[in-house]
Amino acid sequence: MSLTLRALLLAICLSVAANAQTRKLALYSGPIRGLDPEANSVMRAELDRLLAPAGIEVVWKNLAARKAGENFDIVAVISFESSCAPAETGSEETAASLAHTSISDGRILPFFRVDCTRLVAMLGSQTAPAVLGRALARLAGHEIYHIVAQTAEHKEEGIAKASFSIRDLTAARFVLDSMSLQLMRAPSRTRTPEIVSGDGGQQ
């Protein structure tokens, strides 16, 4: 093998390694009322699948047990409003937001909420643990997109869409589009230095 070819292969390998660098996202969460253990497991696995192409590894942390001095590339806090237990009756239509992220002075803050009651109502009878866990992960993935990319803009398709249908929430495959992934990979937008208090708005 010629020296030129070897050098080219080495450059390619180094480039791939640099682009494949994984950053850790500490996702601090409080209690999730009414969530089935299987749904919880599916939610975590699905969120890992969604964020892996962006080079993000999710580390779930207990908000009540947070410690000073922990070092992560990205930090976010998720709260689950109301109960995630499947309701006996539900509606497929809901005008209210299923999830939202805090904004202050145009900055996307690392805090977001998921409204379990509204999600369960929207899903109606489709609240098997695997389906509910998948839907919760996709709502979380959408808000994490805003936080990591530091943008309030939405895309035409994929997890970064402005709104989700029941099919989007429950289909076997639903991913971040290439442009959203590119925004999330940008080094200058991946660091959240600390968790601060405040809630300046909603996304």
Any domain includes 27: yes
Chain mean position to CA 163: 15
Q: Is 62 exposed, middle or buried (0-12, 13-18, 19+ CB in 10 A)?
A: exposed
Any domain includes 150: yes
In percent, how much of the chain has pLDDT > 70? 77
Number of domains in the chain: 1
What pLDDT score was predicted for residue 86? 87
Q: Which helix (DSSP H) or strand (DSSP E) does residue 103 occupy?
A: strand 99-104
101: pLDDT strictly greater than 80: yes
Please, what is the average pLDDT of the chain?
A: 83
Any domain includes 200: no
Any domain includes 4: no
Mean pLDDT (whole number) for 133-142: 98
Any domain includes 3: no
Rounded CA-CA distance 199/70 in Å is: 23
Any domain includes 203: no
Q: Which helix (DSSP H) or strand (DSSP E) does residue 81 occupy?
A: strand 74-81
Among 26, 110, 28, residue whose Cα is nearest residue 62: 28
135: pLDDT strictly greater than 80: yes
Of 44 and 12, the structure prediction assigns the larger pLDDT to 44
| Sign of the dihedral defined by the CA atoms of residues 114, 116, 122, 127, in that order | positive
33: pLDDT strictly greater than 70: yes
Provide the residue range defining the domain that includes 152. 23-189
pLDDT in tens, 142-182: 999 999 999 999 999 999 999 999 999 999 999 999 999 99
Single pTM value for the model: 0.80
90: pLDDT strictly greater than 70: no
What pLDDT score was predicted for residue 106? 86
28: pLDDT strictly greater than 60: yes
The DSSP code sequence of 64-129 is GG--TT---SEEEEEEEES--SPPSS--S---S-SEEEEEETTEEEEEEEEEHHHHHHHHTT---H
Supply the CATH number for residue 127's domain: 3.40.390.10
Any domain includes 45: yes
Among 92, 81, 112, residue whose Cα is nearest residue 203: 112
What pLDDT score was predicted for residue 199? 38
Any domain includes 195: no
Rounded CA-CA distance 32/85 in Å is: 10
**Longest Cα pair distance anywhere in the chain, in angstroms?**
69
